[in-house]
Structure 1
């Protein structure tokens, strides 16, 4: 695996410097200077290396950090209620136990530990299209249609 990675790294290095681009050798001028086509080829090679590096680093980051958050969740956020501009109450499920936590700019505090878990119903929030449809139909009924 490491040998294959080293091989691809060498190929990418040669690509960026122009070693694998035969157009560079053909595009050089007789006086020893590099033509605009050679500069363009090197620039495109460098761009390809940067894009490949971004993709590879993103894949590595996802593999290393993503593995930590996967699996069974032992801590689950059950409900959140805002009680002020910067204060919230959070109901957190930890295993079989539920804990009520107060969150403020000064920090977090455990307010209460529930002996019996509270079941929270899933509140269905309407999507934007249905809310817009209701608003438009209510407006038509109240004011009539304009011509």
Structure 2
């Protein structure tokens, strides 16, 4: 094990067990009570932080697992139409609702009884859009230098 990691792992192990032996070895004189107090303080802090991390992980896992598969409302598509305005197509059961979202609020623009379908073409993804933008910029940059 690398010495730096050995030191960190020894410190964490001793902090969790509550007996920081390097500090107690240094404080064998008059201040042995201070080292014990420091060991308790650091050990308690490590336990509380560890409990917060573990509980956050458990909460995230249980909330995600409960709602999956039982969604009645689904966002089908979203399109930005301004700096802070968007159109959102929401699937609710068998109907689709077109909603306008703006800083002032949300409004239902249209309700469709029959769901709208996307064209059978290729769906654009970020990687292909990035490649197109880079090749266009490379071609225009070469023309400007000639």
TM-score interval for Structure 1 and Structure 2 normalised by the shorter chain: 0.5 to 0.7
Kindly tell me: are residues 26 and 86 of structure 1, through their superposed partners in 2, closer, same or farther at Cα, counting changes over 3 Å?
closer
Question: Shift of residue 84 of structure 1?
Answer: 3.9
TM-score by length of 1: 0.61
Kindly tell me: are residues 39 and 131 of structure 1, through their superposed partners in 2, closer, same or farther at Cα, counting changes over 3 Å?
farther
CA distance in 2, matches of 1:85, 1:127: 21
- Whether 2:114 is the aligned partner of 1:116: answer yes
The answer (yes or no) to whether the contact 1:97–1:116 under 8 Å persists in 2 is yes
- Whether 2:82 is the aligned partner of 1:88: answer no
CA distance in 2, matches of 1:40, 1:133: 60
CA distance in 1, matches of 2:133, 2:36: 58
TM-score by length of 2: 0.61
CA distance in 2, matches of 1:37, 1:30: 11
Kindly tell me: are residues 103 and 64 of structure 1, through their superposed partners in 2, closer, same or farther at Cα, counting changes over 3 Å?
same
Higher mean displacement: 21-30 or 68-77: 21-30
Gapped runs of 5+ residues in structure 1?
A: 1-14
Which residue in 2 is equivalent to 1:75? 73
State the superposition RMSD in angstroms. 3.6
